[in-house]
Structure 1
């Protein structure tokens, strides 16, 4: 059965896995259209040339494979880091922040090749369908969006496998293809969810994880690392300048050895249901701790308080796919203003899943040892607090009989 719906050419966000491979063939069959596959390298550590060859074999007219790791880290992850953004106290937004970049490049390719539609492989219950499609609409409102998981009659893994077999689609039965759960990886994190992880009362088996070492296998001696920041962004490791993607690659490797960065949580999805997410974010966990430690030296107290109040709102915007929304840009401007003086170096120790800040130094630190020392301070009059205390306590003293 064909249903062209006026679509001539579609750009598909393609991963090489079962879902998007079936989608590629389904698009050609159902819509009788040309399909351009786009494969984004966000640091997932997979062999992307194999995915490219597979897309051509299934019937893609063109395949774009692009290394976006530096852009991802610099223009998407670092702004989130400046905000110290964490969703619901655990999720460091690695997958959530990858979708806007993929979508933006998809739209650029669609314009380049003259496509009139875009498509993605996100399911009908998950968050990513919202993230992809809100980004498409923000960047090109008139683009047609094809959502196979909300349109076709394939509703299970077995039906997808049967479709693949009927259409001669090769299925890689090694690695993640054999795992009974969903896996999504990039430079920032690896996400595991679904199937055997759907019961929050059942611990995630050790075989689930492949990025961060189990604590029992972690290195037995602590290891220190110095992270240099400039205007809120990490720029060096142990005194050596590194590119944004290199910073993550080095810290991912180091933190993983020490069992740093595993999170197992139940979170609220965009569409209202709760889901269990298991995450590994080794380098990002280290950077968050170091960045917060440096901010504590530099930020004005009221600015720091306001920034902490804004963070959950910012994290919610990113999680809900509103990266290109005006309110996210507005919050980002405020956050980036606060980072002007967040320049310095932080030393942390990594050991058995822990990140411990040991030393921090900032170029424009507000920390004044002369004011806080227990020795005789030369620039502080010990009589001054009395006036502050009396004025603050005035409202207590004006209540008849004292405060209840």
Structure 2
């Protein structure tokens, strides 16, 4: 039995985490275990390739932790219920999944009896805070080790160190940094480090290949997206199927600009066809099936929920409180939403629902009043004007 201390490294297989794996073993004497977390961004071939990389680095044990279903049930579902778009733009494609990756890493670290947890984040981004926050809450007894952040290493220094330790391979830096998951794909490059340049067509992972307009029906049941054109799926599969249909149209692309957790402005491109269509369709269905004050308070709490999720504070108990409210509002949010897809744009055409508040017999806006008379409106308007009238008269007297 080994007397070495055990560290679990959150592993992507890239240069940074490869450096961490060797450094933790050689310089710190740890027994290194690695884990990657599947939140919708890996296929079978990629999983095998990552396991092979870990083996070549001499890792004691490597695992892939699949939390795709949990990511939906405990995260994405509420982002849909809340129509969450950070700065009215970004569906939290990467920031939300990072929280669930951190939670899975912390749980597995406890399972294997690790003495420490390591990750390859730099000191310049949001991920370092998200990972550290979760680890500090879920595994406060474990040391958090971050070699890249602490040593402020350059890419060249990392490559040289790996070569010195017998890891001699091509560490070609991709022109664009791509992070793919169930809820969208982020795209970062030289252009997103500026304030004025857009991403070129070649930077986007999915090419615009669909040319003919297409009309589709999205099905919702109690706020959850469950089907397309009459075919019902489980929600995770429904998201994947919609992504296959919509992403070739080039919809759901944008560049998000926002305030990072560490206080600087950040800019990133993203490709999220299914999330954007689902959120916009869900929002339209809610406009028909929820009341004015339900919609108002949902917006307030959902924006707060999205901010806390983005900043890694998912484990705060207030998040469970907001989730309870959001879920309660979805009891009548069922029906179909009709969409038209065209290259680089989509159009919300309308909805069909048994709970459509427009389909009432009380009146048709701008057409006919069935449940009140003109005299009722005169009295209502007179009372409604009272507070403004009183304020105006008092202020006029005081200003004379």
Query: Residue 331 of structure 1 is aligned with which of 292, 312, 322?
Result: 322
Q: Does the 8 A contact of 2:40 with 2:182 survive in 1?
A: yes
Q: What per-residue deviation string (whole Å, max 9, x for no partner) do you get for residues 280-338 of structure 1? A: 11110110111101111111111101111222211110111011111222222211111
Q: What is the rounded CA distance, in whole Å, between the counterparts of 1:401 and 1:65 in structure 2?
A: 70
TM-score, L = length of structure 1: 0.90
Structure 1 residue 166 displacement after superposition: 2.3
Structure 1 residue 377 displacement after superposition: 4.4
Q: What is the rounded CA distance, in whole Å, between the counterparts of 1:132 and 1:363 in structure 2?
A: 44
Structure 1 residue 88 displacement after superposition: 1.3
Q: What is the rounded CA distance, in whole Å, between the counterparts of 2:83 and 2:304 in structure 1?
A: 12
Q: Does the 8 A contact of 2:178 with 2:188 survive in 1?
A: yes
Structure 1 residue 102 displacement after superposition: 1.2
Q: Is 1:209–2:209 an aligned residue pair?
A: no
Number of corresponding residues: 391
Aligned twin of 1:313: 304
Aligned twin of 1:393: 385
5 Å matches for 1:251-290?
A: 251-290=242-281
Aligned twin of 1:102: 101
Structure 1 residue 342 displacement after superposition: 1.4
Q: Does the 8 A contact of 1:266 with 1:275 survive in 2?
A: yes
Structure 2 portions without partners, runs of 5+ = none
Q: What is the rounded CA distance, in whole Å, between the counterparts of 2:210 and 2:395 in structure 1?
A: 58
Q: Is 1:158–2:156 an aligned residue pair?
A: yes
SS at match of 1:220: coil
Larger deviation, residues 59-68 vs 189-198: 189-198
Q: What per-residue deviation string (whole Å, max 9, x for no partner) do you get for residues 244-303 of structure 1? A: 221121111211111101111321111110121111111101101111011111111111
Q: What is the rounded CA distance, in whole Å, between the counterparts of 1:83 and 1:229 in structure 2?
A: 14
Q: Does the 8 A contact of 2:72 with 2:236 survive in 1?
A: yes
Aligned twin of 1:124: 123
Aligned twin of 2:193: 198
Q: Does the 8 A contact of 1:222 with 1:349 survive in 2?
A: yes
SS at match of 2:196: coil
Q: What is the rounded CA distance, in whole Å, between the counterparts of 1:82 and 1:353 in structure 2?
A: 25
Aligned twin of 1:79: 78
TM-score, L = length of structure 2: 0.91
Query: Residue 38 of structure 1 is aligned with which of 35, 40, 52?
Result: 35
With over 3 angstroms needed to count, the CA separation of the structure-2 counterparts of 1:153 and 1:357, relative to structure 1, is closer
Aligned twin of 1:26: 23
Q: Is 1:352–2:343 an aligned residue pair?
A: yes
With over 3 angstroms needed to count, the CA separation of the structure-2 counterparts of 1:381 and 1:249, relative to structure 1, is same
Structure 1 portions without partners, runs of 5+ = 1-5
Query: Residue 219 of structure 1 is aligned with which of 210, 234, 239?
Result: 210
Q: Is 1:299–2:290 an aligned residue pair?
A: yes
Q: What is the rounded CA distance, in whole Å, between the counterparts of 1:109 and 1:48 in structure 2?
A: 18
With over 3 angstroms needed to count, the CA separation of the structure-2 counterparts of 1:162 and 1:354, relative to structure 1, is same
Q: Does the 8 A contact of 2:37 with 2:105 survive in 1?
A: no
Q: What is the rounded CA distance, in whole Å, between the counterparts of 2:66 and 2:285 in structure 1?
A: 31
Q: What is the rounded CA distance, in whole Å, between the counterparts of 2:192 and 2:265 in structure 1?
A: 13
Q: What is the rounded CA distance, in whole Å, between the counterparts of 1:29 and 1:194 in structure 2?
A: 33
Structure 1 residue 196 displacement after superposition: 4.6
